[in-house]
């Protein structure tokens, strides 16, 4: 009961369900909108009690008249929407993920869709090429639904997503070629069983086992859990004794994870997941042929708890490991959803998954105690995992999906490195190789098929954008190439996707430092020249900085600058990595002369300029032909382990065969680090080619 909004002396039981306004019978019956809901001028009003139902019916009838069905291909998702709403809104309602950086303003041009058929009215946009317009492209945010329609998410979306997520379609195609035979963890065995009779009255489970045995499944080694038993009777009868059994291969036994009705083939999907401290990448893979059906990548939500693994552990100690696990899962599951959407696939089809991550990421994800990783003697709880069930760890997949977690040999050299090595493959070959992964940490592996040594240096996340004011990962709009004109000191920039600059990624930073040094804006110790009197070199919040892009060039409407603190952070990072090389070589009794190959992995972006990386002292000054850039090798290795049992076995072997060198207790590492805090190094004898050939930078280097 309430008091009428217009006649407060009157108690009434009628209230607008939408706006909460009370009104008496008189006000109600006259139906003057003015009387009703002051909240809105024209309120589509409902009332409680008897009127409610009638009015709801009227409302529904009216709405049905103007409802339109929009189908999104290739997923085939259908959504009903009110005529006049935008395609972007319809996509959101259908839970179809569209990238819309400008939030529907028609500025970023990322929400491109192809109208296959139906009634869509679009505004013209300069962001569409003539060719695209001919092919039916529209911007979803600039298109209104006026009737039923079918729209398609264009194919190049996958290619773009693949690139952002680590490698392009061509590269993933090559990956596929590395595997002789696809062999998922989860074997799906279709069975056609004979129905029971009085003469053949064995139990349902025995009948199933008999069928499995005929399909060469070792039932002596088969374990069946209570959950499967509980559904067995119905499943077998529902499909008239035609069923499909999902059996996962474990090290010492097999497990029957699920029995589903029907023995027809159903596309089986797998997930390769690279859980980085900063970035998470997901590939959705067709387990039948190993093709990548979709890809997605995004920032690890744990970033809210700090940039590096140590801060994540501290946060887990404070707030509980469940919180951090939940954050990683939220990111991963969001990306899985996105990938499933764009492939038009269903979560229950995902029956296999491989997770590659550093040791801390793996512990946090699985809710395993991480606190002893950061305390001497730096002990992980678990290095090698049995195959887990997706349902047990909260991964968005079929609850019985088999999850292989990449084993990690040490607290600071984890499964992401093992995955990278799987892809790089130097552990199978003769040449002495230095493998380096620069992500949020710097991990190094030295060795060949005879022996493997590994170590980690706390490089920090600078090259992934962490702690750098305008730092970002190699996403659309990231500055990935920089050339500074020595005369004008004006920069020439190249960005990912040729978009307006939004920040600077790892490869861009390496270019930039090398160029700043080369043109003399900074000196070898990382100090800015204070006397240049140039518009590009100025103080920003009390410290010197170089202006890469001015406000009017950037979508954010702010100057993109690179400051002295940014530079300092990067010099620390590169110094930590270079000191890692020299210390590990010293431990092995070698020097750079013996290294036949340097493989570089990590989130620098696509165009790592090796020459410039040597010039700033991140990489050693050896024959440039020895360097190879691998991109995101962790996701590549996760992919290989996903589709091949041989690679999963190999991952365990790599893990067992590596010798871990602890730098924290190694006094020579600190010396090496201090020496490496110059550009390129305190000891220029280590960089003879830089000194000799550094034409433009010679004056600075000397």
Tokens of 102: 């400008």
Among residues 367, 582, 632, 634, the one that binds a copy of itself under rule CB under 8 A = 367
**289: three-class secondary structure by DSSP:** coil
* 318 counts as binding a copy of itself under rule CB under 8 A: no
Q: How far is the CB of 376 from a copy of itself (least distance, A)?
A: 7
**Which of 66, 194, 215, 223 is close enough to bind a copy of itself by CB under 8 A?**
223
**Of 167, 388, 618, 654, which one interacts with a copy of itself (CB under 8 A)?**
388
Interface pick for a copy of itself out of 281, 327, 410, 509 (rule CB under 8 A)? 410
Tell me how far apart the alpha carbons of residues 581 and 585 are, in angstroms, rounded to a whole number: 6
- Cβ distance to a copy of itself smaller for residue 505 or 654: 654
Binding part of the chain for a copy of itself, among 79-87, 154-162, 166-174, 384-392 by CB under 8 A, reads: 384-392
The residues, any chain, with a CB within 8 Å of residue 596's CB and separated by 6 or more, are 431, 432, 433, 626
Q: In this chain, which stretch among 226-234, 274-282, 568-576, 687-695 interacts with a copy of itself, using CB under 8 A?
A: 226-234
Query: Residue 292 or 366: which CB sits closer to a copy of itself?
Result: 366
Q: Looking only at Cα atoms, what is the longest distance across the chain?
A: 100
Strand partners, 537: 534, 546
Q: Residues near 405 by Cβ (< 8 Å), separated by ≥ 6?
A: 354, 355, 362, 366, 385, 388, 415
Query: Nearest distance from residue 307's CB to a copy of itself, in Å?
Result: 24
Q: Work out how close the CB of 190 gets to a copy of itself at its nearest, in angstroms, rounded to a whole number.
A: 21
Instruction: Tell me which of 33, 386, 486, 699 binds a copy of itself, using CB under 8 A.
Output: 386
Told to check if 226 binds a copy of itself by CB under 8 A, we report yes
3-state secondary structure of 540: strand
The residues, any chain, with a CB within 8 Å of residue 663's CB and separated by 6 or more, are 455, 456, 457, 580, 583, 669
Place of tokens 């996903």: 642
The alpha carbons of the chain give a radius of gyration, in whole angstroms, of 30
414 binds a copy of itself (CB under 8 A): no
**Binding range to a copy of itself, per CB under 8 A, among 301-309, 327-335, 362-370, 607-615:** 362-370
User: How many residues in the chain?
Assistant: 702
For a copy of itself, what does the binding mask look like between residues 658 and 677, x meaning CB under 8 A? --x-x--x------------
Nearer to a copy of itself, 407 or 508 (CB): 407
Give the contact letters, 432-471, x = binds to a copy of itself (CB under 8 A), - = no. Answer: ----------------------------------------
The pair of structure tokens assigned to 263 is 């023995």
Chain-centroid distance of CA 153 in Å reads 20
Burial class, 295, CB count within 10 angstroms (exposed 0-12 / middle 13-18 / buried 19+)? buried
In whole angstroms, how far apart are CA 561 and each of 99, 115, 504, 566?
26, 41, 9, 10
Candidate ranges 162-170, 204-212, 495-503, 535-543; the one touching a copy of itself (CB under 8 A): 204-212
Supply the minimum distance, in Å, between the C-beta of residue 249 and a copy of itself: 13
Q: Residues 80, 148, 266, 369: which binds a copy of itself (CB under 8 A)?
A: 369
382 SS3 class: coil
Shortest Å distance, C-beta 227 to a copy of itself: 9
Q: How far is the CB of 500 from a copy of itself (least distance, A)?
A: 46
Indicate whether 222 belongs to the interface with a copy of itself (CB under 8 A).
yes
Rounded Cα–Cα distance for residues 602 and 604 (Å): 6
Using the contact rule CB under 8 A, the part of the chain among 14-22, 90-98, 227-235, 516-524 near a copy of itself is: 227-235
Q: How far apart are CA 424 and CA 288, in angstroms?
A: 24
Which residue's CB is nearer to a copy of itself, number 369 or number 543? 369
Size of site (CB under 8 A) for a copy of itself: 53
Residue from 372, 538, 588, 622 in contact with a copy of itself (CB under 8 A): 372
Under the binding rule (CB under 8 A), the answer on residue 229 touching a copy of itself is yes
Note whether 653 binds a copy of itself by CB under 8 A: no
CB of 662 to a copy of itself, least distance (A): 5
Q: In the complex with a copy of itself, which residue's Cβ is closer, 366 or 677?
A: 366
The reply on whether position 397 binds a copy of itself by CB under 8 A is no
Is 561:545 a contact under the CB 8 Å cutoff? Answer: yes
Q: What Å distances lie between residue 584 and 247, 608, 685, CA to CA?
A: 43, 24, 19
Intra-chain end-to-end CA distance of the chain, in Å:
87
List the 543-549 sheet strands across, edge first. Answer: 537-540, 543-549, 560-563
359 vs 476, which CB is nearer to a copy of itself? 359
**Are 638 and 281 within 8 A, CB to CB?**
no
- Is the bond leading into 74 cis (omega within 30 degrees of zero)? yes
Q: Which of 382, 453, 556, 588 binds a copy of itself (CB under 8 A)?
A: 382
- Closest by Cα among 444, 433, 435, 409 to 577: 444
The nearer residue to a copy of itself, 626 or 648, going by C-beta atoms, is 648
Partners of 22 in the β-ladder: 15
Q: How far apart are CA 341 and CA 669, in angstroms?
A: 48
Q: How far is CA 425 from CA 419, 420, 430, 453, 522, in A?
A: 10, 8, 11, 15, 39
- Map the footprint of a copy of itself across residues 245-264, applying CB under 8 A: 250-253
Among the candidate windows 16-24, 120-128, 386-394, 506-514, which touches a copy of itself by CB under 8 A? 386-394
| C-beta neighbour count of 520 within 10 angstroms | 16
Give least dist CB 327 to a copy of itself, A.
Answer: 17
Q: How near is the Cβ of 230 to a copy of itself at its closest, in Å?
A: 5
Q: Which residues would be at the binding site for a copy of itself (CB under 8 A)?
A: 196-198, 200-206, 220-226, 229-234, 237, 250-253, 366-369, 371-372, 376-386, 388, 392-393, 410-411, 660, 662, 665
């Amino acid at each position: 009961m309430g008091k009428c909004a217009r006649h407060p002396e009157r108690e009434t039981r009628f209230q607008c369900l939408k706006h909460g306004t009370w009104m008496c019978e008189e006000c109600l019956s006259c139906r003057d909108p003015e009387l009703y809901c002051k909240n809105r001028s024209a309120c589509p009003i409902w009332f409680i009690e008897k009127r409610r139902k009638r009015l709801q019916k009227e409302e529904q009838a009216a709405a049905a008249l103007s409802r339109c069905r929009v189908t999104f291909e290739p997923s085939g998702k259908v959504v009903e929407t009110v005529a006049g709403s935008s395609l972007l809104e319809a996509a959101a309602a259908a839970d179809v993920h569209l990238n819309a950086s400008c939030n529907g303003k028609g500025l970023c041009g990322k929400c491109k869709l192809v109208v296959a058929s139906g009634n869509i009215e679009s505004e013209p946009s300069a962001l569409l090429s003539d060719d695209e317009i001919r092919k039916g492209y529209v911007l979803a945010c600039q298109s209104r639904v006026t009737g039923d329609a079918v729209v398609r998410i264009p194919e190049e979306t996958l290619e773009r997503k693949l690139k952002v997520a680590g490698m392009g379609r061509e590269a993933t195609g090559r990956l596929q070629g590395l595997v002789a035979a696809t062999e998922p963890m989860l074997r799906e065995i279709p069975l056609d069983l004979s129905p029971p009779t009085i003469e053949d009255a064995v139990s349902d489970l025995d009948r199933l086992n008999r069928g499995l045995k005929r399909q060469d499944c070792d039932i002596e080694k088969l374990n069946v859990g209570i959950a499967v038993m509980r559904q067995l009777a119905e499943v077998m009868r529902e499909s008239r004794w035609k069923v499909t059994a999902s059996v996962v291969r474990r090290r010492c036994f097999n497990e029957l994870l699920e029995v589903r009705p029907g023995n027809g083939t159903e596309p089986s999907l797998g997930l390769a997941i690279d859980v980085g401290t900063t970035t998470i990448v997901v590939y959705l893979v067709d387990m039948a042929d190993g093709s990548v059906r979709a890809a997605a990548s995004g920032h690890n939500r744990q970033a809210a708890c700090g940039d590096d693994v140590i801060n994540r552990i501290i946060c887990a100690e404070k707030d509980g490991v469940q919180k951090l696990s939940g954050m990683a899962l939220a990111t991963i599951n969001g990306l899985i959803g996105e990938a499933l959407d764009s492939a038009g696939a269903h979560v229950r089809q995902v029956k296999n998954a491989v997770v590659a991550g550093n040791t801390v990421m793996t512990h946090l994800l699985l809710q395993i105690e991480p606190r002893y990783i950061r305390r001497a003697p730096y002990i992980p709880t678990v290095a090698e995992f049995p195959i887990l069930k997706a349902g047990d760890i909260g991964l968005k997949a079929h609850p019985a999906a088999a999850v292989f977690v990449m084993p990690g040999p040490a607290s600071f050299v984890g499964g992401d490195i093992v995955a990278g090595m799987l892809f790089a493959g130097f552990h199978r070959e003769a040449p002495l190789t230095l493998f380096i992964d620069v992500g949020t940490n710097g991990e190094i592996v030295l060795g060949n098929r005879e022996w493997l040594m590994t170590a980690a240096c706390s490089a920090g996340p600078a090259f992934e954008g962490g702690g750098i004011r305008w730092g970002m990962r190699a996403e659309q709009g990231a500055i990935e190439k920089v050339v500074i004109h020595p005369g004008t000191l004006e920069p020439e920039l190249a960005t990912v996707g040729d978009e307006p600059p939004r920040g600077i990624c790892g490869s861009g930073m390496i270019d930039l430092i090398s160029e700043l040094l080369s043109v003399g804006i900074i000196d070898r110790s990382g100090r800015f020249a204070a006397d240049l009197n140039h518009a590009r070199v100025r103080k920003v919040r009390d410290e010197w900085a170089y202006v890469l892009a001015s406000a009017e060039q950037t979508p954010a409407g702010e100057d993109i600058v690179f400051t002295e603190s940014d530079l300092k952070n990067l010099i620390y990072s590169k110094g930590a990595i270079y000191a890692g090389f020299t210390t590990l070589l010293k431990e092995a009794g070698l020097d750079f002369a013996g290294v036949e190959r340097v493989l570089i992995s990590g989130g620098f972006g696509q165009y790592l300029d090796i020459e410039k990386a040597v010039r700033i002292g991140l990489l050693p000054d050896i024959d440039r032909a020895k360097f190879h850039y691998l991109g995101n090798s962790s996701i590549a290795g996760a992919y290989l382990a996903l589709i091949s049992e041989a690679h999963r076995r190999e991952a365990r072997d790599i893990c067992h065969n590596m010798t871990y060198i602890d730098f924290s207790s190694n006094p020579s590492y600190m010396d090496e680090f201090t020496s490496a805090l110059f550009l390129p190094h305190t000891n220029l004898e280590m960089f003879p080619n830089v000194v000799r050939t550094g034409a433009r930078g010679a004056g600075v280097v000397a």
